[in-house]
Amino acid sequence: MLSILNAAALIGIDALKVTVEINVTSGIPSFTVVGLPDNAIRESRERILTAIRNSGFIIPPKKITVNLAPADIKKEGTAFDLPIAVGLLGSLDLISNRFADTLIMGELALDGSLRRINGALPVAIMAGKEHIKRLIVPLPNAPEAAVAVSASNGSTIEVYGVESLNETVALMAGVILPNPVTVNVAELFEGVQEYPVDFADIKGQGAAKKALEIAAAGGHNVIMIGPPGSGKTMLAKGLPGILPPLGFEESLETTKIYSVANLLEKDRPLMVRRPFRSPHHTTSNVALIGGGATAKPGEVSLAHNGILFLDELPEFSRNALEVLRQPLEDREAIVSRIAITTKYPAGFMLIAAMNPSPAGALKDRDGNLTAPPRMIQRYLSKISGPLLDRIDIHIDVPKVDNSALFVASLAESSATIRERVISARNIQQRRFASTVSPKIYTNAQMNTRQIKSFCHLDRESSQKLMDAMNRMNLSARAHDRIIKVSRTIADLDNSEKIAMKHLIQAIQYRNLDRDFWSF
């Protein structure tokens, strides 16, 4: 007898509807799965049969064939255990064989209980679009899947969380009638706590704080260079506190990435804070950009809509740094494998920090270099020109005077700065409201055509920029970065036009282009 029911396969951060067909006939007992299954699915035979027997069902020796369609898409993971088990019971007439309006996902333990799966949120979003009426997932995944109901437009999908195969069978037979799982998204956002580092707690570094405010307002990439102990790491950790709160659409997209990577907190089904990722400098290319046997998202994607902080930048391998160039430019990470090419969003702010010398400070108290010039040159050369070009703002972070550490701080709080950042972001949202493909939200995302449309320079300002480019030997990419930053400075100043003072300030943030190799 043939049973047909619905499941889903993950393709990047999205889900594809998969039809699970189970046919049971007489013949030599066997259990065959076709339709491009991976090893985890091929190994499911013993897991499924043992779980069914331990749940109290008797499986007669039959020829069992399972097909996962479409057959040209690779299926990965253990989430097909539950739909195959339910379909098999239906084919044996052990339960009702009416699965047309239901999508089922779950991993089975040998005792018939269910374990958490990856990607419940994208699966639920897809189910709503496919007009599925009922979604059954493991109980720990139910709140995550229920978030999709809030995200859908008029979807009537009902989400149920189950703990075992027996509970799934009882639910489908109507023996138990639990209420669908619901999530109050507004309450999740109300529970957002302040970030641990406040700008008011950071002594001195007024110029660096202003530069980070500009970066937050326009979504610009930043590199900070200064001696150890000058506060670079603390400044980076304080940056999330001045960024605008995550909107629901941003939160949903970020949550999909963490759902696929199985990194969601168990008690929080939705990402309500901007991610802050700080990988160690020994991180590999694959961990940074994404990939591996199952093409998982990397750090650049886990930082989507948030911050990727790379401390001790020259200590990262040259190859790891160079793979950052494509996601910095295109705001997406492309992971290619033999069977499939997967795209993950990678719209992050890059915040990098480094010392000016491998010994730490560039010069000692007597004004002498802390390392031989050739060693310093080799250390600094790890940061290539093309990567430096893609970083909009370069900040010099000098050592804080000791006297400033003993003076009561009168610095602005992160909350005060955040209000100015939000105001500037609102200006940009109105400016870019008409953009469609690709949709942009901040000045840092502008392309050449949009720069021409929204960033007009008068003749004097254009001449000033040309002189600066000739004097500092800047590239065309650096030219565009300067204009974008000047547009953001003008937005913070609530100015419709880019004035000369805005442009000059933006040019000053390219000092590393000129002084980076000078010591």
Cα 213 to its chain centre, rounded Å, is 22
What are the tokens at 193? 């706590």
In a domain, 495, yes or no: no
Structure tokens at 210: 């202003």
Q: What is the pLDDT of residues 140-175, one digit of tens each?
A: 999 999 998 776 655 678 999 999 999 999 998 888
Query: What tens digit of pLDDT does each residue of 100-147 get?
Result: 889 999 999 999 999 999 999 999 999 999 989 999 999 999 999 999
Rg for the chain, CA atoms, rounded: 27
Q: What is the pLDDT of residue 80?
A: 95
Query: Higher model confidence: residue 438 or residue 238?
Result: 238
Asked, for residue 28, whether it belongs to a domain, the answer is yes
Distance CA(305)–CA(247), nearest Å, equals 10
pLDDT at residue number 155: 66
From the number of C-beta atoms within 10 Å of its C-beta (0-12, 13-18, 19+), residue 471 rates as exposed
Distance (Å, whole) CA 72 – CA 393: 46
In a domain, 195, yes or no: no
pLDDT (mean) for 56-77: 91
What is the distance between the alpha carbons of residues 303 and 146, in angstroms, rounded to a whole number?
A: 24
d(CA 175, CA 180): 15
Residue 392 has pLDDT above 60, yes or no: yes
Domain boundaries, position 105: 2-183
Residue 447 CA to residue 329 CA, distance in Å, equals 10
* Range of lowest pLDDT (15-29, 101-115, 181-195, 237-251): 181-195
| Residue type present at position 103 | L
Q: Is residue 266 very low, low, confident or very high in pLDDT (cuts 50, 70, 90)?
A: confident
d(CA 263, CA 247) in angstroms, rounded, equals 20
Q: Is the pLDDT of residue 261 over 70?
A: yes
Amino acid 519: pLDDT = 47
Tokens of residue 432, six digits? 């870019």
**For residue 351, is it within any domain?**
no
Question: Is the omega angle on the peptide bond into residue 70 within 30 degrees of 0, that is, cis?
Answer: yes
The answer to whether residue 143 is domain-embedded is yes
Domain with residue 121: its CATH number is: 3.30.230.10
Query: Rounded distance, CA 311 to CA 93, Å?
Result: 60
Highest mean pLDDT among 225-234, 377-386, 397-406: 225-234
Q: Please give the tally of structural domains in the chain.
A: 1
How remote is the C-alpha of 229 from its chain's centroid?
Answer: 30
Flag whether pLDDT at 194 surpasses 80. Answer: no
Per-residue pLDDT band for 338 (boundaries 50, 70, 90) equals low
Residue 455 in any domain: the answer is: no
334 assigned to some structural domain: no
Identify the three-state secondary structure at position 69. Answer: strand
Cα torsion for 318, 224, 498, 443, to the nearest 10°?
50
State residue 154's pLDDT score.
Answer: 57
Contacts with 87 (C-beta within 8 Å, 6 or more apart), sequence order: 3, 4, 5, 20, 21, 22, 66, 99
Q: Is residue 326 part of a domain?
A: no
* Cβ count near 121 (within 10 Å): 28
The pLDDT tens digits for 197-230 are 889 888 888 899 999 999 999 999 999 999 998 8
Q: What is the percentage of the chain residues whose pLDDT exceeds 70?
A: 95
Nearest to 75 by CA among 294, 261, 257, 345: 294
pTM for the structure as a whole: 0.89
Q: Report the C-alpha gap between 332 and 210 in whole angstroms.
A: 28
Can you give the three-state secondary structure of 143-198, one letter per residue? HHHHHHHHHCCCCCCEEEEECEHHHHHHHHHCCCCCCCCCCCHHHHHHCCCCCCCC
